[in-house]
Structures are given as structure tokens and as C-alpha cells.
Amino acid sequence: MHFALLVLRNAFRHKLRTLLTILGIVIAIASFGVLRTIVDAWYAGANASSSARLVTRSSVSLVFPLPITYAEKMRQVEGVKSVAWANWFGGVYVSERNFFPQFAISGASYLDMYPEYTLKPEERKAFLADRVGAVAGRKLADKFGWKVGDQIPLRGTIYPGTWNFTLRGIYEGRETATDESQFFFHFDYLNEFIKKKYPRRGDQAGVFIEELKDPEQASPVSLAIDATFRNSLAETLTETEKAFNLGFVAMSEAILLAIQAVSYVVIVIIMAVMANTMAMTARERYGEYATLKALGFRGGFVARLIFAESLGIALAGGALGIALTFPAVKAFSNLVGQILSAFYVTNETIRLQVACALVVGVVAAAVPAWRAARIRIVDGLRAIG
């Protein structure tokens, strides 16, 4: 009780210094949390990928489509349970700033392959029955205030013109990491347009998605699919969905590494600031520590006083920093829109924030505590007066 009282009162002896130090830690811990959340969000798509799905694309480039007829041959490959396909649409809703992923999908076969997109049965039925129907994720619908039945116009960029869709359903993600920012409509609707406008580009899919009978067979089935189309005009590259999504992440890997590095640099900086604060604080109190030792308190007691004060300040700043992370992430999420869909603070991030606060508190106090514990009483007493 006395120890705690001594620590608390000492910590706030210089209120301004302590409050500014705590503020620094709050900002550092919150920044660390936001930066880590950005990195997590970048990898979220890949991490949420199913191990039971493969993605097949043109071996030359994702830009080149593959014939729809490939679907039937893929179904016949040993280990493939079902096949679906999708085309990237890339339209604009009102303004270019309102970016969100839009896919023309193969209808029921696609929805069946993604059970994590939970759709009400009546909405699914309505979507499948409506050629111009569309389905949007909950996060996307909430952002624009869409309701089932609304008309959603998209300005085509790859496929010119104004495309009007009727929102027939809003899906919700089964897990927190499930992407709820996507917009789906019927591939057939898009294909009709392409066949009219660009006949030679009709009946082609951007990517195929294969569901596996046994997820353990991802590798041999991938090879078997690619072997099926080797030496054809459109050779394929098949990989797991996770690897496919990680491929996009890899394009930004340098940036992600830099962000991670910065997140830790911020912690190191505040550690140095805190260490300076504790060193200054301890130096100012050498006389008191010497007095305590003269009275019979051991060096270990003095060291514990300093450690406790440092940890108290660090953890107070850490707790506030963690609390601030949530609104900061929310604000950042509103800024970036749908670019990073699964943008939330993970438990892992919170654990790391706590760990960082602890490390800051311990490291900052280490040298001052060691010095104060070892101070010769007569030297410390000379510091008074």
C-alpha cells in the first residue's frame, strides 16, 4: 500500500512531465496499432482465403481472359468438386473516389462456392432470378445507404456505358475478416453486352474458381488443371486462392515492410524519450534514494520504486493508446474507403501493443534503476542541499 502510494505520488510529482510522457506513449501505441492494422488489413484478404479453393487465370497475365468452355474440362479434372468464374468489372459509382470491387459472377455456382457470404434465401432467389440483379456486401451497402430494391448505376470503364443494377440482396460475412465490400452481378448480363459490342471477346472469363473435394490435394489438382490446358492457345496458371491473393499483396510488399518498420521505430523512439524521462527523474531523486538506503531500505527497493513508476506511466499510456486505436482505425477506414476492406483491430495487435508498453516501461527504467540501486549513500546525500 505504502509502496503503491509512494510510486503514484512520485509519478505525479511533476504533473506536466508525466502527462506529456504519457501523451507521447499514447500517440506511439495508437500509431503502432493503426499501422499494424493497416498491414493486417492488407493481408486480410489472403488470410481469409479458403484452402479448399483454387484460382485459375491466364499463365501470361491476369489481364488476358480464358474461354468459358474451360469450365467443363476443369470439372472433369480429378479432385475438382465444382467450378465457377468471375470477371473484374471496374465500374465507377458516382465518383472515382467511391472505389469498391465489382465482379460479374457465374451465379449460383459462385455463391455456392463462398458460403462465408451469407445471403438470405429469398434474396439469393431474387438475385438468381433477375438478370440485372446485384448483390452487395453489408459494409458497402451501409456506406452508401443502399437497401434491397435500390437501383445502383455504375459507369463502365472497361465496359463503356451506364450499367443499371437492381440490388436484390445484401450479404454479411460469416467471419470478421470476410470482405463485405464487394459487389456482384450476373456474368451473363455482362457477356451479352460483350458479345454485342466486341464479339470476339465474348464467352471469356477473367478467372475460374475451383472448389476441391479434398483441400489436401490442392497441389496435384492445380498441376492437373494446368496440364489439361498446356500447349493450348490460352495456357493456365492455377494456384490456391491464398497464393492468388498474396500475389496482389506481394506487389506492395516493400511498402508493407516499410510500414511495419515504421511501427516499431515509433516504439523505439518513445522508449528513448521515456528512458530520458526516467533517467532525469532518477537523477533528481538521488538524495531521496540515498536517504531511503540510509534508513535501511535496500538497493532493490529503490530499483523497484523506479521500475514501478516507469511501468505505471508506460501502461497508463499504453491503455489509453489502445483505447485511442479503435476510433483512429475507424477514422482511417473512412478515409481509405473500400481499398482495405477487413479493417479492424485484431486481438494480436492489442497483445502487441500491451507488450510494447511493457517493454518501454521496463527498458526505460533499467539503467536508472540499476544506477540508483547502486548509488553510494554518501554520494547520494551530497546531492542534497
Binding residues vs other proteins (CB under 8 A):
2, 5-6, 9-10, 13, 287-288, 291-299, 376-378, 381, 384-385
HSE at residue 335, side-chain half, CA atoms within 13 A, is 7
- Give first-to-last CA distance, the chain, whole Å: 30
Helix (H) or strand (E) holding 348: helix 347-374
Shortest distance, CB of residue 377 to other proteins, whole angstroms?
4
Shortest Å distance, C-beta 286 to other proteins: 12
CB of 290 vs other proteins, minimal distance in Å: 8
Task: Between 129 and 378, name the residue whose CB sits nearer to other proteins.
Answer: 378
Instruction: Give whichever of 124 and 293 is closer to other proteins, judged by the CB atom.
Output: 293
DSSP 62: T
Closest CB to other proteins among residues 6, 268: 6
Residues with Cβ within 8 Å of residue 379, at least 6 apart in sequence? 286, 290
Closer Cβ to other proteins, 172 or 288, answer by number: 288
Helix (H, G, I), strand (E, B) or coil at 115: coil
Beta strands 102-105 and 183-186: pairing type? parallel
Region of 28 (left: φ > 0; alpha: ψ -120 to 50; beta: rest) is alpha
CB of 305 to other proteins, least distance (A): 11
Residue 9 or 195 with smaller CB distance to other proteins: 9
The rounded radius of gyration (Å) of the Cα atoms in the chain is 29
Q: How far is the CB of 297 from other proteins (least distance, A)?
A: 7
CB of residue 272 vs other proteins: minimum separation in angstroms? 27
Alpha-helical segments (H) within 12-77:
15-47, 70-75
Q: At its nearest, how many Å lie between other proteins and the CB of residue 4?
A: 12
Cβ proximity to other proteins, 5 vs 233, nearer residue: 5
Crossing angle of helices 347-374 and 299-336, in 10° steps, is 150
- Is residue 364 packed enough to be buried (19+ CB in 10 Å), middle (13-18) or exposed (0-12)? buried
- Taking the C-alpha atoms of residue 61 and residue 99, their distance in angstroms, rounded to an integer, is 23
Residue 287 or 337 with smaller CB distance to other proteins = 287
Strand partners, 147: none
CA distance 49 to 179: 10
Nearer residue to other proteins within complex by CB, 117 or 286: 286
CB 239 within 8 A of CB 54: yes
Residue 15, C-alpha cell as written in the block: 504533473
